[in-house]
Structure 1
Amino acid sequence: MVDWGWRVRVGDAAGSGFLVTSDRVLTAAHVVAGLDETSVDFPDGPGKLLARVLRPTGWERPGEPGDVVVLALDEPVDVAPARFADPGAPPGRRFGTYGFPRRRDETIRFASVLSEPDWGVAGGERWALKTFDGDRIEPGFSGAAVYDTATGEVHGMITDAVGDGARALMMPLTALRRHVEELDDVLPLDWLDAAARRELRTLLAGHAMTEALHAEFAAIVGRRLTGDLPSVWAAVREVAEGWPGEDRLGRWVAALGRRLDGSARQGVAAWRRRHLGAAPAEREAGTASVIVRLERVTHGNSYELTVHTWLDGREELPAETVQVSEHEVRRAIEERVQRAAGALVGHDWMIEFAVPESWLHKPFEEWHIDRVHKIKMRKYPVVVRDVERLRPGSIRRDLAFRRWRRLGERGRSDPQPVGCAARARGEFERWLEVNDDHCVLVYGSRPAKGALTAALNTGVPVMLWPRVPCGGPAHESCAGRERLAALLPRVEAEHPNDLPSLAQRLRLEELPARGHELTLLWDDPSRLPDPPLGMEA
């Protein structure tokens, strides 16, 4: 038997509402427009009670999205809250609703309404409803629950009467929960129990999606978010319901734990251990880094330089951006990398150079990390990255996400050899497009500009090449062929995350024909510090 005591009158016949927890009521925002508090009463229960108006959205006027508020009671009431339907339940059925229009008897009135699958409006923000049996939606119905008359399960909330009241609009659960995230605590969801959801949502309250979190999200699910999400919790819901399985939820929560600060970071990590088990062993070579970001200025022969300190998946120190001329770049980088390295003492760390494509062949490992004592950067793993992939909205970056995800899923390098014999850029690019599982390329000699551009344009995230030419006219016996034969099995034997350390070792070995002069492009798209203000455009 259904307990209907959760139906609520709001104000003096101003509108309706429904109890969602023992001390929270939902109603439409326009019912209490301009008020900080109002009264509520239960026709079959407690009389008038004072409630504070909490506004989770920025709704201001009719027609805007987010026409919903929460009314907070001072004390819990001894009334069973409404029960909710599955938020994914489609329209296309009859429902009941109620209201408190102005009448002398001030009693509740009821109406029967019908929805159809194609009656969604405003991008799903509302559904259209049609009354039947002569019923009308009148002033006083706004904020009322729309429910299954047999089970009492709530499917949405009345927001508007249309015309003469024969039609109406309702906000479905899919929109209500987007605006009022606390609803996820009480919805019948199967991906976490209610207590665990409530605890995690509370830990994440107030945290918004950053660009770095967007990168983490894409690396886990394989694509960028297609729309704006209001919060980190909304992204949790998106992962759990949009990409179930493969422990994506666990990986996303682990990523959030790395990105948050202070007590929230510790709380999320502890929550994960209790509810999802220990994080799976992840091989993360170089989890700490100094990330050098070099971006050419639009006018003039100068660059914007930012040096980030990356530790446990987040920025460790504030990054400063300076503008330098081309001849000042090396000294400016050496000075700033040395300063940044001080925050990483005692950690295993690497140096990442995110630079323009034309700079990828520079011998950065031969630059100094301590000029006074003549200590070179090759004492640490050094890799290069395509700075274009760090820019918000970059297509190169999106394509790199896809291949990096495939690389992580298979957990092995599977390197593809690229010989010295020149291929036309178009042919090479088509080869990479057809073979979208080619994620690690090993070259026998310095790649031609067209080949390098083609690989970057198709999202290849890992490439290893000697910075020296082929070495002979006959490729059947050239030095490049010999170098490739030496490098390929070494790369094949390593996990992708261990390739920066492998490159460091190879630079110290006696490889054929100057094969120690190596560049490793190792472009993990999740290692994405927030862009400097000057580079956000």
Structure 2
Amino acid sequence: MHDWQWRAWVGEASGEPRASAFLITPTTLLTCAHAVNGRSGTWVGFPGLTGPLPAKVVPCGDWQRAGDEGDVAVLELSSPVTFTRARLAAPDILTRPAPQAPHGTTPYGGGQRVLGTYGFPNPREPYERHITVTTGPSMMQRQEWWQLKAEPGDQILEGYSGAAVYDPYTREVVGMITDSDLRGTDGAVGRMLPLAAIRRYWEELDDHLPLTWLTPPARRSLRRLLTGAATAAPLAELVAEAAGPIPGRPRFRSVWDSVRSVAEGWPDDPDRLARWIAVLRRHLPDRDLAGWSRTHLPTLRAGTTEDGTSEDGTASVIVRLERVTHDNAYDVTVHTWIDGAEGARQETVRVPERSVRQAAETGLAKARGAMVGRTDWMIEFAVPESWLGKPFEEWYVEREHQLPMGMYPVVVRDVERLRPDSIRRDQAHRRWRVLRERGSSEPERVDCGRPRAKSAFQNWLMANTDVCVLVYGARPAKAWVTAALNTGIPVMAWPRTRCAGGCTGRHQLDDLADALAGRHPDHLPARVMELRKQALVAPAHEPHCGRELTLLWDDPSRLPDPPLAMEV
């Protein structure tokens, strides 16, 4: 009984209904723009619950005359009501396969859905009338409306405009009636706006829909932050550049429309939304998108300080190393990664193995100009598995003055994970999400006593999907590294020294694990840099967990496009 309190009428102060509406919040209802055309205020009532209540009319669509799109208006009550609000379905519900009806009822057929609605066709009647309608994906009109067909004996008449259309079994609202054909079909045919269309004209509706791509507080905060925002460049061009073209969406009504389109266009790839927010930060400097990102979007590590410089390791020089199948040569490509998106990329150079270091240092010298002035940036080496243990932090960031790269955070990555079709990358995505949701490193200690067989270690990792950070007490066996990469472990740390054995090795393992424990994953590169610097001034005869320390830190969202030669 109480589930249906949200159904309302729109009409006169005398209590005469003229149209319908439904309750979204304690002070807000939705109805059709044409039902309140020319009015700044109207009256609403909830049958059997309360008499006429004054409401302010807020047109929010594009409707001007019959046949126009955007036939949507919001009604704002002066005081909140305590009635049950409408339960809204997901905006894509109508395009999903129609479910089977409950036992004992007429089943859905051919993708058609059997829905319910209500209206007030006679102003002199103090009660609503209920009818059954059907619709389906084949009855969509101009990507705006869905045609409705009334069941035999029912009619869609005047007074139904603004009524919610709902699934009688789930009790979820899927749309709103806007039109009826009273000439040729005598009310047997009408139209509704689905929620997916209504939300285009009243963006606040997204605050109340069961969306999954952000938490409700995060969505609400971001939508409000972007209200009224505009970019100088066309949104469609910016979206295509940052996230890729969205099929069927050649234009966006607003910046918020672009955000939800990116989020819902790639529901299994939240990194695209992160990259799009990062791009918007650069184009909307007057909006505090950096602060919002740090609070609500853990997949986005791109933040900016008040002076416009980046923080939280958002900027990187990425040195990509690919082995050529002949001549023992390597392709070296230097990328920059700034504010969640790829920046400048240098041309790939092919060099023999002995010249890789020189090529990397030369490329870094050219790229570091884009990093100067930022509060924090890092160096990432995306290299073949056999190169992960190289002492890259000892290479030079500036050879002329013999300044080592270890002055900055230096990490290694598995170059195979940079390939979009890599299973290793897919597995890394899964564990990286677990790590981000946790928001804290919980290192798993791997001592020398573990079984060295790859199969045993890999099986253990496959069975423990919550393990995201591995810390080794000594240089790990190759089989361990391969197993960890295969199963998507995104963070590993190890000293490049061989196992010292006894309590010495165990103490180093514990010291390293304790130094990383509880840290946010974004802060691990800087923490390892600190440990390396501490080791530089520690007594040489004493072990230190920062000495000859390698950090594999592999955020799969930082995915620069491969050079053309590598794509081929």
| Fold similarity call, TM over 0.5 | yes
* C-alpha distance 434-122 of structure 1, shift in aligned 2 (>3 A): farther
The offset of 1:340, in angstroms, is 1.4
Q: Which residue of 2 aligns with 1:88?
A: 89
Q: Which residue of 2 aligns with 1:363?
A: 391
The offset of 1:374, in angstroms, is 2.5
Q: Which residue of 2 aligns with 1:56?
A: none
The amino acid that maps onto 1:373 is H
* C-alpha distance 423-519 of structure 1, shift in aligned 2 (>3 A): same
The amino acid that maps onto 1:388 is E
SS at match of 2:401: coil
| TM-score of the pair, normalised by structure 1 | 0.62
CA contact (8 A) 1:397 1:459 kept: yes
SS at match of 2:552: strand
The amino acid that maps onto 2:332 is L
Q: Which residue of 2 aligns with 1:319?
A: 345
The offset of 1:88, in angstroms, is 1.6
2:459 to 419, 430, 434: 430
SS at match of 1:378: helix
The offset of 1:534, in angstroms, is 5.0
Q: Which runs of 5+ in 1 are unaligned?
A: 9-18, 26-38, 43-50, 52-68, 72-78, 98-110, 138-143, 215-226, 242-248
Q: Which residue of 1 aligns with 2:286?
A: 266
Question: Which stretch has the larger CA shift, 479-488 or 332-341?
Answer: 479-488
Q: Quick check: 1:114 aligned with 2:132?
A: yes
The amino acid that maps onto 2:391 is P
SS at match of 2:433: helix
CA contact (8 A) 1:236 1:252 kept: no
SS at match of 1:260: helix
The amino acid that maps onto 1:203 is A
The amino acid that maps onto 2:434 is R
SS at match of 2:229: helix
1:155 to 154, 170, 176: 176
* C-alpha distance 385-240 of structure 1, shift in aligned 2 (>3 A): closer
1:24 to 44, 48, 62: 62
Q: Which residue of 2 aligns with 1:294?
A: 321
Q: Which residue of 1 aligns with 2:400?
A: 372
Count of residue pairs the alignment pairs up: 432
Q: Distance in 2 between matches of 1:169 and 1:303?
A: 66
Q: Quick check: 1:348 aligned with 2:368?
A: no
The offset of 1:308, in angstroms, is 2.5
Q: Which residue of 1 aligns with 2:194?
A: 173
The offset of 1:384, in angstroms, is 0.5
The offset of 1:464, in angstroms, is 1.0
Q: Distance in 2 between matches of 1:345 and 1:322?
A: 23
The offset of 1:233, in angstroms, is 3.8
The offset of 1:132, in angstroms, is 2.9
Q: Which runs of 5+ in 2 are unaligned?
A: 1-8, 12-18, 20-31, 36-56, 77-84, 94-112, 120-128, 167-172, 210-215, 265-269, 304-309
Q: Distance in 2 between matches of 1:157 and 1:297?
A: 63
Q: Which residue of 2 aligns with 1:141?
A: none
Could you report, residue by residue, the CA deviation over 1:248-272 in whole angstroms, capped at 9, with x for unpaired residues? Answer: x9x9999755332544243353995
CA contact (8 A) 2:302 2:311 kept: no
The offset of 1:360, in angstroms, is 1.0
Q: Quick check: 1:520 aligned with 2:541?
A: no
Q: Distance in 2 between matches of 1:364 and 1:263?
A: 35
Q: Distance in 1 between matches of 2:180 and 2:484?
A: 53
Q: Which has the higher contact order (CA 8 A, sep 6+)?
A: 1
* C-alpha distance 170-443 of structure 1, shift in aligned 2 (>3 A): farther
Q: Quick check: 1:335 aligned with 2:362?
A: yes
Q: Quick check: 1:399 aligned with 2:402?
A: no
Q: Distance in 2 between matches of 1:531 and 1:387?
A: 11
SS at match of 1:324: strand
Q: Distance in 1 between matches of 2:206 and 2:312?
A: 40
Could you report, residue by residue, the CA deviation over 1:111-160 in whole angstroms, capped at 9, with x for unpaired residues? Answer: 997346xx6447998978443346799xxxxxx9784499x995267899
The amino acid that maps onto 2:289 is A
Could you report, residue by residue, the CA deviation over 1:264-310 in whole angstroms, capped at 9, with x for unpaired residues? Answer: 2433539959x99xx99999653332222223456765444332333
Q: Distance in 2 between matches of 1:420 and 1:239?
A: 46
CA contact (8 A) 1:211 1:530 kept: no
The amino acid that maps onto 2:452 is R
| TM-score of the pair, normalised by structure 2 | 0.59
Counting only pairs closer than 5 Å after superposition, residues 42-57 of structure 1 correspond to structure 2 as none
The offset of 1:452, in angstroms, is 0.7
Q: Distance in 2 between matches of 1:295 and 1:506?
A: 33
The amino acid that maps onto 1:468 is T
* C-alpha distance 286-22 of structure 1, shift in aligned 2 (>3 A): closer
CA contact (8 A) 1:441 1:463 kept: yes
CA contact (8 A) 1:147 1:153 kept: no
Q: Distance in 1 between matches of 2:263 and 2:466?
A: 26
Q: Which residue of 2 aligns with 1:31?
A: none
CA contact (8 A) 2:431 2:466 kept: yes
Q: Which residue of 2 aligns with 1:189?
A: 208
The offset of 1:405, in angstroms, is 3.4
Could you report, residue by residue, the CA deviation over 1:55-100 in whole angstroms, capped at 9, with x for unpaired residues? Answer: xxxxxxxxxxxxxx669xxxxxxx9679997652876433479xxx
CA contact (8 A) 2:417 2:425 kept: yes
Could you report, residue by residue, the CA deviation over 1:156-188 in whole angstroms, capped at 9, with x for unpaired residues? Answer: 67899xxx99997967524425xx734425678
Counting only pairs closer than 5 Å after superposition, residues 383-532 of structure 1 correspond to structure 2 as 383-421=411-449, 422-470=451-499, 476=502, 480-481=505-506, 483-492=508-517, 496=521, 497-498=523-524, 499-505=527-533, 508=536, 509=538, 510=540, 512=543, 516-532=547-563
SS at match of 1:290: strand
RMSD, matched Cα: 5.5
The offset of 1:432, in angstroms, is 1.6
SS at match of 1:361: coil
Could you report, residue by residue, the CA deviation over 1:445-485 in whole angstroms, capped at 9, with x for unpaired residues? Answer: 222222111111222121111223336xxx557x7556435
Counting only pairs closer than 5 Å after superposition, residues 232-251 of structure 1 correspond to structure 2 as 233=256, 236-237=259-260
Q: Distance in 2 between matches of 1:493 and 1:80?
A: 50
* C-alpha distance 481-159 of structure 1, shift in aligned 2 (>3 A): farther
The amino acid that maps onto 1:2 is V
Counting only pairs closer than 5 Å after superposition, residues 118-157 of structure 1 correspond to structure 2 as 120-121=136-137, 129-133=148-152, 147-148=163-164, 155=176
